Amino acid sequence: MKAEPTSLPDVIRLTPRRFADARGYFMETFRLAGLRDAIGTDVEFVQENQSLSLKTNTIRGLHFQGPPQSQGKLVRCVQGAILDVAVDIRRGSPSFGQSIVEELSADNDRQLWIPAGFLHGFRTLENDTIVSYKCTETYAPECEGSVLWNDPDLNIAWDLETPSSIADRDLEAPRLSDLKSPFKYEPMS
Q: What CA–CA distance (Å, rounded) separates 89 from 93? A: 8
Asked if the structure places residue 153 within a domain, the reply is yes
Asked if the structure places residue 184 within a domain, the reply is no
Mean pLDDT of 102-122: 97
Containing structural domain, residue 129: 2-178
Asked if the structure places residue 188 within a domain, the reply is no
- Provide φ and ψ at 13, rounded to 5°: -90, 130
pTM tops 0.85? yes
Asked if the structure places residue 87 within a domain, the reply is yes
Q: What is the count of structural domains for the chain?
A: 1
What pLDDT sits at residue 33? 85
Mean pLDDT, the chain, integer: 95
What pLDDT sits at residue 67? 97
Which listed residue (25, 120, 133, 139) is catalytic?
Answer: 133
Confidence of residue 189 (pLDDT cuts 50, 70, 90): low
What pLDDT sits at residue 118? 98
Q: Is 139 annotated as catalytic?
A: no
Task: Give percent of the chain above pLDDT 90.
Answer: 85
Asked if the structure places residue 22 within a domain, the reply is yes
Mean pLDDT of 36-52: 91
Q: Which contacts of 164-172 are long-range, i.e. CB under 8 A and separated by 24 or more positions?
A: 164/55, 164/56, 164/57, 164/58, 165/53, 165/54, 165/55, 165/57, 165/58, 165/59, 166/58, 166/59, 166/60, 167/60, 170/59, 170/60, 170/61, 170/62, 170/121, 170/146
CATH number assigned to the domain comprising residue 107: 2.60.120.10
Q: Is 63 annotated as catalytic?
A: yes
Asked if the structure places residue 183 within a domain, the reply is no
Per DSSP, what are the bridge partners of residue 50? 132
Asked if the structure places residue 89 within a domain, the reply is yes
Q: What CA–CA distance (Å, rounded) separates 170 from 174? A: 9
Asked if the structure places residue 186 within a domain, the reply is no
